[in-house]
């Protein structure tokens, strides 16, 4: 916070397509789509018109005990596009609420079906699932947890599946947890199909299927946190579609940065006990859930993704981008580039030591130089995260690679002490 006060982040004043502009007129390629959410880029008239029309008709009516036409329509659209197992929709305003809705629905489900001891949640070390207290407990970032303690109990973490050997160790830890330590006490397993905040880690597919098989065997429900990955980001409508999860959390791209809108999708089995005669309400909901203008924005976003073929586009552009970014590995500060679709991580490493993340001051200086060169992006520790709008043009992608190359090929000398350069902490997380 001190660094931010000393050197406040730039004021972004307007956006157009894949670019944003600072108050002083500096044009920046928005390589992380805002906070990974502006999937259609900036200034989309179709989304703006849909919202404006809805605001005039009815700005909001909560989905707590009420309905609106636009919320119903959005829910139906989501179910049309989602894996067939998904049958129910809850609408929210943030990804945090979508995850929390999923977790709490599972917990209440088990109480309703007479297994009240099943409340534990398993997730992956270093994952990110939201900024609430439950989100922090589930996320398992030890550095964050230290400041927020005491966190809700009952959250367990297995090692992250970064590479084949780590994935095998992660599955072994899951086996141990479900068999020996907590049999009958575990309610849900939550995972990100591609781990974003951890630095764009792509788990081996065998890890995901293995983890889900273990959970199914032990009656543990599976939540796919697709707040980042869904709606085309990784080249599929839903990255977890092949895994048949019990619940899916959505956010970010659903409102595409135009409106706060998020959703939890659930299978019928989880919903059924709530609906029984004399059943109880689901103990979760917030005033602006089902925000009508947000639902109108999300409908326009889904329409645009479909009409413009953005899911397939992300898959094919992503393949080309990955191989071009891999060419940057010849520079001494670039580690093994990874990603899927238009979700890429470029890890920065210490020269001569590819297993050691580049020190924070140097990483911040590189991010600052990229900013000056005309690219704004988020980083996760020492990994540059590239999640451009799905609408980005090929020429803009060329420009992005060139600008990255210009800076990464000449990373400068190691900084002597704490970085005092421009934009030291720009949109970054240092764990
Ligand atoms: N889940 C994942 C995987 C995320 O990356 C995030 C945010 O980055 C969230 C949940 C929380 O979403 P929000 O910031 O909209 O609350």
Atom of ligand 1 nearest to the CA of 127: 3
Residue 152 CB coordination number (10 Å): 15
Sole residue written with tokens 């020492």: 382
pLDDT in tens, 246-262: 999 999 999 999 999 99
Please report, for residues 196, 301, 347, 363, 428, the alpha-carbon distance to residue 128 in angstroms, rounded to integers and kept in the order given: 8, 25, 18, 21, 14
pLDDT-derived band of residue 278, with 50, 70 and 90 as boundaries? confident
pLDDT for 427: 52
Residue 368 Cα, ligand 1 centroid: separation in angstroms?
A: 25
Residue 314 Cα, ligand 1 centroid: separation in angstroms?
A: 20
Secondary structure percentages of the chain, helix, strand, coil, to 5: 40, 20, 40
Question: 41: Cβ–Cβ under 8 A, 6 or more apart, which residues?
Answer: 15, 16, 17, 18, 30, 33, 389, 391, 392
Question: 384: Cβ–Cβ under 8 A, 6 or more apart, which residues?
Answer: 345, 346, 347, 348, 366, 367, 370, 377, 404
Q: What single string gives the DSSP state of each residue in 255-312?
A: TTTTS--EEEEEEHHHHHHHHSTT----S---TTTT-HHHHHHHHHHHHHHHHTTHHH
**Ligand 1, atom 1: nearest CA belongs to which residue?**
129
Structure tokens given for 281: 């309400």
Question: Residue 126 above 50 pLDDT?
Answer: yes
Question: Candidates 191, 228, 385: which one to mutate for ligand 1, based on the most atoms within 8 Å of Cβ?
Answer: 228
Structure tokens given for 150: 């005491």
Question: Residue 226 above 80 pLDDT?
Answer: yes
Atom of ligand 1 nearest to the CA of 94: 15
Residue 412 Cα, ligand 1 centroid: separation in angstroms?
A: 34
Q: Do residues 176 and 185 make contact, with C-beta atoms less than 8 angstroms apart?
A: no
pLDDT for 428: 59
Atom of ligand 1 nearest to the CA of 96: 16
**Ligand 1, atom 12: nearest CA belongs to which residue?**
95
Question: Candidates 95, 134, 190: which one to mutate for ligand 1, based on the most atoms within 8 Å of Cβ?
Answer: 95
Structure tokens given for 237: 């409508």
Alpha carbons 351 and 176: distance in angstroms, whole number: 38
Residue 262 Cα, ligand 1 centroid: separation in angstroms?
A: 10
Residue 336 Cα, ligand 1 centroid: separation in angstroms?
A: 25
Alpha carbons 125 and 138: distance in angstroms, whole number: 9
Percentage of the chain lying above the pLDDT 70 cut: 97
Atom of ligand 1 nearest to the CA of 260: 15
Residue 395 Cα, ligand 1 centroid: separation in angstroms?
A: 30
Question: Candidates 33, 99, 130: which one to mutate for ligand 1, based on the most atoms within 8 Å of Cβ?
Answer: 130
pLDDT for 425: 46
Alpha carbons 226 and 233: distance in angstroms, whole number: 10
Q: Which residues are paired to 225 by β-bridges?
A: 249
Residue of 155 and 413 predicted with greater confidence: 155
**Ligand 1, atom 15: nearest CA belongs to which residue?**
95
pLDDT for 421: 46
Residue 227 Cα, ligand 1 centroid: separation in angstroms?
A: 6
Residue 56 Cα, ligand 1 centroid: separation in angstroms?
A: 30
Q: What's the rounded mean pLDDT across residues 120-139?
A: 96
Residue 396 Cα, ligand 1 centroid: separation in angstroms?
A: 26
Question: 248: Cβ–Cβ under 8 A, 6 or more apart, which residues?
Answer: 82, 83, 86, 102, 223, 224, 226, 230, 238, 240, 264, 265
**Ligand 1, atom 13: nearest CA belongs to which residue?**
95
Residues with C-beta less than 6 Å from any ligand 1 atom: 94-96, 99, 128-131, 192, 196-197, 225, 227-228, 251
Q: What's the rounded mean pLDDT across residues 60-68?
A: 88
Residue 386 CB coordination number (10 Å): 25
CB-based burial label for 417 (10 Å; 0-12, 13-18, 19+)? exposed
Q: Do residues 247 and 221 make contact, with C-beta atoms less than 8 angstroms apart?
A: yes
pLDDT-derived band of residue 335, with 50, 70 and 90 as boundaries? very high
pLDDT in tens, 355-408: 999 999 999 999 999 999 999 999 999 999 999 999 999 999 999 999 999 999
Rg (CA), the chain: 22
Percentage of the chain lying above the pLDDT 90 cut: 86
pLDDT in tens, 280-316: 889 899 999 999 999 999 999 999 999 999 999 999 9
Residue 94 Cα, ligand 1 centroid: separation in angstroms?
A: 8
Question: Residue 186 above 80 pLDDT?
Answer: yes
Helix (H, G, I), strand (E, B) or coil at 334: strand
**Ligand 1, atom 7: nearest CA belongs to which residue?**
130
Question: Residue 227 above 70 pLDDT?
Answer: yes
């Amino acid at each position: 916070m001190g660094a931010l006060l000393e050197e406040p982040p730039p004021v972004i004043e307007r956006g157009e397509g894949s670019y944003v502009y600072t108050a002083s007129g500096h044009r920046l390629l928005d390589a992380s789509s805002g906070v990974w959410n502006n999937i259609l880029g900036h200034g989309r008239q179709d989304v703006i018109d849909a919202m404006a029309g809805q605001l005039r008709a009815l700005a909001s009516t909560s989905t707590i005990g009420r309905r609106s036409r636009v919320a119903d329509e959005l829910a139906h659209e989501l179910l049309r596009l989602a894996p067939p197992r998904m049958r129910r929709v809850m609408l929210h305003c943030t990804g945090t609420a979508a995850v929390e809705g999923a977790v709490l629905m599972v917990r209440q489900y088990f109480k309703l079906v007479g297994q009240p001891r099943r409340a534990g949640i398993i997730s992956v070390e270093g994952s990110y699932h939201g900024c609430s207290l439950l989100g922090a407990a589930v996320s398992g970032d030890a550095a964050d947890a230290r400041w927020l303690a005491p966190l809700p109990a009952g959250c367990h973490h297995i090692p992250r599946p970064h590479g084949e050997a780590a994935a095998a160790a992660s599955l072994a830890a899951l086996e141990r947890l479900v068999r020996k330590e907590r049999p009958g006490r575990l309610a849900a397993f939550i995972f990100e199909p591609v781990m974003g905040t951890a630095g764009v880690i792509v788990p081996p597919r065998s890890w995901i299927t293995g983890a889900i098989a273990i959970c199914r065997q032990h009656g543990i429900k599976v939540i796919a946190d697709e707040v980042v990955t869904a709606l085309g980001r990784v080249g599929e409508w839903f990255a977890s579609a092949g895994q048949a999860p019990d619940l899916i959390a959505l956010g970010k791209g659903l409102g595409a940065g135009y409106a706060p809108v998020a959703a939890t999708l659930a299978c019928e089995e989880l919903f059924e006990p709530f609906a029984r005669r004399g059943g109880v309400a689901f103990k979760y909901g917030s005033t602006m859930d089902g925000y009508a203008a947000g639902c109108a924005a999300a409908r326009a976003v889904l329409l645009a993704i479909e009409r413009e073929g953005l899911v397939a586009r992300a898959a094919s552009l992503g393949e080309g981008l990955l191989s071009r970014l891999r060419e940057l590995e010849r520079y001494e500060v670039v580690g093994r580039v990874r990603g899927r679709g238009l979700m890429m991580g470029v890890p920065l490493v210490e020269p001569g030591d590819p297993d050691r993340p580049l020190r924070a001051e140097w990483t911040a200086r590189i991010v600052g130089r990229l900013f000056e060169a005309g690219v704004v992006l988020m980083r996760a520790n020492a990994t540059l995260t590239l999640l451009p709008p799905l609408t980005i043009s090929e020429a803009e992608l060329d420009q992005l690679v060139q600008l990255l190359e210009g800076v990464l090929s000449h990373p400068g000398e190691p900084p002597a002490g704490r970085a005092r350069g421009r934009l030291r902490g720009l949109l970054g997380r240092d764990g």
